[in-house]
Amino acid sequence: MKITVFAAVLSILATVSQAGTPVVVGVEVSHSGNSWRFDVSLRHADEGWNHYADGWGVYLEDGTELGYRVLMHPHVNEQPFTRSLGNVKIPSGTGWVKIVPHDLVHGNGEAFLVELKR
C-alpha cells in the first residue's frame, strides 16, 4: 500500500512540475538574404509576475545561440501568444534550428525544431 501511494504521489508531482513548462505551439519563419525573422507562438500557464514565460531563443543543433527574445511581462489572459524576433543571422548551410522557450520557474521547455527553407 505504501509503495502504491508513494508511486502515485511521485506521478502527481511529475505532472505538476511539467504543467508549467512553456511550449512552442507554432513558428513562422521568413528571410531576406542571411537575415531571418521568427514569429513564435507559445503556450504557458502564466500565473503573474512570479511565474511566466520570460523568453525564447533560436539555437543551432550544437547549442549555439543565434538570438533571444526577452518577454517583459506575463500573458495571463493571452494564450497562446505570438512574439517576433528579427535580424537573426543564420550560418549558410544550416538546415534546421531549435526554438527553446523559457520560464522563470521551470527554466527551459522542450525544443521545437524548425526547418529553414531558402
pLDDT digit string, tens, across residues 87-101: 999 998 999 999 999
Question: Which residues of the chain fall below pLDDT 70?
Answer: 1-19
For the domain that residue 97 is a member of, what is the CATH number?
2.60.40.150
Threshold 0.95, pTM exceeds: no
Note whether 54 and 103 are within 8 A (CB).
yes
- The residue behind cell 511539467 is 18
Residue range(s) defining the domain that contains residue 39? 2-115
Number of folded domains that form the chain: 1
Question: What is the pLDDT, as a whole number, of residue 77?
Answer: 83
Q: In what order do the strands lie in the sheet with 23-32?
A: 23-32, 35-43, 81-89
Beta strand pairing call for 23-32 and 35-43:
antiparallel
Question: What is the pLDDT, as a whole number, of residue 111?
Answer: 96
